Structure 1
Amino acid sequence: MAGHGEPHFLQDGRGFYTTSYGPFILRSAFQPIFSQNQDGQLTLEAFEALIRPSRDGQQISAAHFFSVVEPDDAVAVDSLCRELHILNMGKLGRKRARLFINFNPGLFDALTETDDEVDHMVDVAIRAGLRPGRIVCEITEQSSHNPAVLDRLVAGLRSRLFRIAVDDYGADDSDTQRVDDLKPDILKFDAAWVRRFTETSAGMGLLKLMVEQFIERGITVLFEGLEEDHQVEFCRQIGVQLMQGYALARPEIVPTSFNERFPDPFAPEAAQAMRKQISGAPARQSAIMPAGIIPNLVISPRRAATFGKRTR
C-alpha cells in the first residue's frame, strides 16, 4: 500500500486479530444472521462482517475511513478488511456458521486483479481453517464500470465454491437485472424498500409473492434492518429464510459474546453436554432445546412497522 508498507496483523490474548492502515486501527465486528422455523425458534446461521476503524483511540465511521483511503490503496485496503474478517471468523470457532463479507466490484480495473484477489481469498480461508463454501461474498450496489471485470470476479469466486449474495435488492430494473446476471445464492432485501411495502396489506401480499418466487428459483432470501419483534414475526409469516437486525442481535467487535449467548451445537463440548443432558435428564425434561437456538419470541400481534430505522 502506497506509503504504508505491507499490512500486518496483531493478535490479542485470545488469538483475535487487528490490523492497521496508516494511523487507523482496524477491527472486525460481527452481527449474527438467524433462520426461523415455523414455531418461531431462531437458529444462528451466519455472521455479517463489519469493519470498525479507530484513530487515536476514537472510533470513526467506516464511511469516513474509506473516504480517506488513498485511491491507489483502495483495492488493497478492501482486501485487507476481508482478510481480517476471515481470520477472525476462524478464531471464533463456529463449526458451520457462514461469514458474509463485502466486495465492491467497482474497485477492480483489470481481470488480473480479480484473479489475484480470488486466489488470495482461497489462501486466507485455508489459513483460517474455513471452507470457501462457508464464505458468502456480498456484491455491493456499486456497479463495476467494466462488466467483464464483474463477470470474471463472480465466476472466479463461484468456481472456488464461495457463495454469492446480492446486496440491497430493491426490485427496480437494475436490481432485477443484477439478480438475473449474477444468479446469487442469497438475496438481501433493502430495508428501506421493504418498509414501503409493509405500509399496506397489498404491499405485504406482493412482498410475500416475491419471496416465494425467489425461493422457487433456489435463491435464499435475507431481510435485514429488523428492529422490532413483530417484524421478525412478519418474516416468518411470509417465509423469509434469513433475518438480521437489532431486534435479534447487535454487532459486536471480536471477541464477541455470541459463543456464550448462542452456543455452537456442532462444537465438541456442546455436543458432549447435549448427550449428557439427554442421557441424564428425567422424563419431564425430555424436550431439550438445541444449543444455538433462541427460545420462541413472545411476539405481540401488531401491524407491520418500519424496517431499518435504527434509533437506539
Structure 2
Amino acid sequence: MHSQWQEPQFIDDELGGITTSHGPYVLKSAFQPIFSQSRSGQLIIQAFEGLIRPYRQGKPVSPGQFFQSVEDDDALHVDRLCRGLHLRNLLRVNRPNAGLFVNFNPSFYASAADIDYEVSGFASLCAETGVSTRSVVCEITEQGSDESLLSLMVERLRDARFKIAVDDYGAHESDLQRVERLRPDIVKFDAAWVHRFVETPDGKMVLQEMVQTFREKGMASLFEGLEEEKQVNFCEEIGVSFLQGFALARPELTPTSFNVRFPETSPAAQPELSPDADGEAGRHIHLERSAVSRLPEEPSAAAGPKRRNAPFGRRSR
C-alpha cells in the first residue's frame, strides 16, 4: 500500500512560512493556539492546531473545496503532506515551548505494516526537524476505521511517544466507548455539542461531570470553538484544561504574530502536554480583548461546494 510519490517540495514563502503544493493548489499552514493557564491566570500557548489554507492562482479557496477535489487515491498522500507541512512550520513560529496537533486517520491503512511504515516515517521526520514526539498530539479520527487497526494505530503512536487525542467527543453515541478503548491523553469536545449544553443548567452539569471524570482517569479536556466570553468563563468554572476558539485567538498563517501577543514566560524546552498546566487548571483567564480586536483576519476564502463526507475528518487540516 505504500504509495510511491515524488518527494514533495517545501519552499519558503514571502511571509516567512513554508508552503507546498498539490496539483494546482499551493498549501499553507495556519495555526490556532490552544491555551492553558498559568498560576497567575495568564494565558499560555500550550500548542497549535495545524490548519490547511489552500490557494489557487494566488487566491485563497476554502479548505473544503480543496479537500473535496482530492482523489481517493491521493488521500493518504495529501494527509501525510499536511502533517509534514505543519511540522515544518512549527519551527517557523519560534515557539519552542509549544506543541502541535495533527490528524491521523486509521482508515487509510490496510495492515499493521502500513501503520508501522507511517508512524515510523512521521517519527523520523520529527527527529529530522528536531521536534520532540512528546510535543506532538495525534488526533485520531475513526471514519470507516477497522477497530483492530484503530487500536494498533494508537498503540504504535504511543510507542513512538506521541500524545493521543480523541476528536469531536459528544458528536456520536459511541464516543464514551471510544474513549474507554483508546484511553487518550486529551479528549476534544465537539464545539457544536458544547454550545448546546452550556445553554441549560442540566447541560452544564453534564459537562462538568465529564470533565471531572476524565481528569480522574488522567485525561485532559479540551474545549474548542469557544466564541463567547461566557463560554470561556464556564470553562474556568469547571476546570477545563485546554481552551481554543475565536474568543481567545483566531488562526493565523505561519509564522504568526502570537509571540508578540502571548509572549512565552519560560525559556524551557518543549514540555510534555499535561492535563493541568502548572498544576492549576481552572484559574481565571485574562481575555486579551484589545489584542484580539487587533488580530489581522485571514484572507477570506472563496466559498466552495459543500464538502462530502471525506476521510479527512470534520475540519480541514
Which residue pairs with 1:181 in the alignment? 181
Q: Which moved more, 1:172-181 or 1:247-256?
A: 172-181
Q: What RMSD over aligned residues (CA atoms) do the two structures have, in Å?
A: 2.4
Alpha-carbon distance in structure 1 between the residues aligned to 2:83 and 2:263: 25
Higher relative contact order (CA 8 A, sep 6+): 2
TM-score between both structures, scaled by the size of structure 1: 0.81
Determine if contact 2:171/2:190 at 8 Å carries over to the other structure: no
Q: What is the match of residue 109 of structure 1?
A: 110
Quick one: which of 284, 297, 304 aligns to 2:287?
297
Give the match's secondary structure for 1:136: strand
In the alignment, structure 2 segments of 5+ residues that lack a partner are 269-283, 290-317
Instruction: Check the 8 A contact 1:94/1:267 in 2, yes or no.
Output: no
The separation in 1 between residues aligned to 2:66 and 2:85, in whole angstroms, is 16
Residue 64 of structure 2 aligns with an amino acid whose one-letter code is: A
CA distance in structure 1 between the aligned counterparts of 2:71 and 2:108, rounded to whole angstroms: 12
Could you report, residue by residue, the CA deviation over 1:225-283 in whole angstroms, capped at 9, with x for unpaired residues?
A: 10112211110001101000000000001121011211222348xxxxxxxxxxxxxxx
Alpha-carbon distance, 1:203 to partner = 1.5
Q: CA deviation at 1:39?
A: 6.2
Question: For residues 77-112 of structure 1, what are the alpha-carbon distances to aligned partners after superposition, in whole Å with 9 as ceiling and x for unaligned?
Answer: 100100010011122221221100111222222222
Shift of 1:66: 1.5
Matched, 1:46 2:36: no
In 2, Cα distance between equivalents of 1:158 and 1:3: 27
Distance 1:105 1:266 in 2: 36
- The residue correspondences of 1:124-135 to structure 2 (distance < 5 A) are 124-135=125-136
Aligned to 2:59: 58
What's the secondary structure of 1:265's corresponding residue?
Answer: coil
Is 1:88 aligned with 2:78?
no
Partner of 1:9: 10
Structure 2 equivalent of residue 259 of structure 1: 259
Mapped pair 1:35 → 2:36 = yes
Instruction: Return the alpha-carbon distance in structure 2 between the equivalents of residues 143 and 179 of structure 1.
Output: 17
| Correspondence for 2:210 | 210
- SS of 1:29's partner is strand
Q: Which residue of 1 aligns with 2:19?
A: 18
Residues 1:162 and 2:162 are matched in the alignment: yes
User: What per-residue deviation string (whole Å, max 9, x for no partner) do you get for residues 198-243 of structure 1?
Assistant: 1211211121111101100000000001011221111000110100
Change (3 A) 1:69 1:50: same
My pick for the range that moved more, 85-94 or 233-242, is 85-94
**TM-score when scaled to structure 2?**
0.80
Contact 2:43/2:262 (<8 A) preserved: no
CA distance in 1, matches of 2:134, 2:32: 19
CA distance 1:63–1:108, change in 2 (3 Å) = farther
Query: Which SS does the other structure have where 1:65 is aligned?
Result: helix
- In structure 2, what is the Cα distance between the partners aligned to 1:213 and 1:5? 47
Indicate conservation of the 8 Å contact 1:38/1:236, yes or no. Answer: no
- Asked whether the 8 Å contact 2:33–2:49 carries over to 1, the reply is yes
Counterpart residue number, 2:223: 223
Unpaired runs of 5+ in structure 1? 269-293, 300-312
Which of structure 1's runs of 4+ aligned residues deviate more than 4 A?
1-4, 37-40
Distance change (3 Å), C-alpha of 1:38 and 1:239: farther
Q: 1:138 to 1:3 in 2, by over 3 A?
A: closer
Equivalenced residue count is 273
For the pair 1:249 / 2:249, whether they are aligned, the reply is yes
Identity rate, percent = 51
Instruction: Say which SS state the counterpart of residue 286 (structure 2) adopts.
Output: coil
Distance 1:2 1:87, change over 3 A: same
TM-aligned CA deviation for residue 140 of structure 1: 2.3
Distance 1:13 1:191, change over 3 A: closer
Letter in 1 for 2:265: P
Report the Cα distance in structure 2 between the residues aligned to 1:3 and 1:114, rounded to whole angstroms: 16
